[in-house]
């Protein structure tokens, strides 16, 4: 059904198009030929070696910016760790490590590496003491550690830090069961 209509539709469109072309020419229209795109060849490749050779005088070797940066970082690396050199120069860590590899030197080891917050007090001593007293009171009342944490609104990490700092031992479930049996 559709296949029989398709050729008729095409013929109607073609007849209308031919009629509009004939009317264009009848009114004095003319076909104008426009210029097409022109071929533009690729840019010639610059010979980089010839340019580099011509800019550096042969008499005295001039240090490049990178060589100057490596020399500066080498001097700093004798007394500073990588993080300190980053803060001092503003260069990124990857740039400094590449400079160290290219220059054949190493940074002074970071004294705080791997220690995180070791040795730093994370809380207020007065608040910690008050919290320790509340933990002891909850333990003596027979409240489980999980329930004490929920009631006090603190984290597991904080309760364990307070328990370690003040030497508080909270009985485990196994210890509670063992103490109930004679």
Alpha-carbon gap, residue 24 to 140, rounded angstroms:
105
Residue-level pLDDT at 7 = 72
Task: Flag whether the pTM goes above 0.75.
Answer: no
Is 74 a residue whose pLDDT tops 70? Answer: yes
Nearest to 160 by CA among 132, 124, 126: 132
Note the pLDDT tens digit of each residue in 18-71: 999 999 999 998 888 888 888 888 877 766 555 555 555 555 566 788 899 999
Note the pLDDT tens digit of each residue in 146-179: 999 999 999 999 999 899 989 999 887 777 778 7
Q: What is the rounded average pLDDT of the residues 104-125?
A: 80
Residue-level pLDDT at 104 = 93
Cβ within 8 Å of residue 29, ≥6 positions away: none
Yes or no: say if 165 and 128 are a contact pair by the CB < 8 Å rule: yes
Cβ within 8 Å of residue 111, ≥6 positions away: 81
């Amino acid at each position: 059904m559709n296949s029989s209509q398709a050729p008729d539709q095409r013929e109607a469109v073609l007849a209308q198009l031919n009629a509009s072309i004939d009317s264009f020419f009848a009114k004095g229209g003319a076909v104008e030929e426009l210029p097409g795109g022109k071929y533009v060849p690729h840019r010639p490749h610059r010979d980089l070696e010839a340019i580099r050779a011509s800019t550096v005088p042969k008499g005295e070797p001039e240090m490049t910016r990178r060589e100057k940066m490596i020399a500066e970082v080498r001097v700093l690396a004798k007394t500073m760790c990588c993080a300190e050199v980053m803060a001092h120069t503003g260069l990124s860590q990857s740039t400094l490590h590449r400079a160290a590899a290219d220059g054949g030197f190493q940074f002074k080891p970071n004294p705080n590496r791997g220690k995180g917050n070791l040795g730093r007090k994370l809380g207020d001593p007065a608040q910690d003491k008050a919290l320790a007293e509340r933990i002891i009171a909850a333990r003596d009342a027979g409240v489980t550690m999980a329930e004490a944490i929920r009631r006090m609104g603190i984290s597991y990490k904080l309760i364990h830090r307070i328990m370690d700092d003040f030497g508080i031992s909270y009985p485990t479930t196994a210890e509670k069961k063992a103490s109930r049996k004679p």
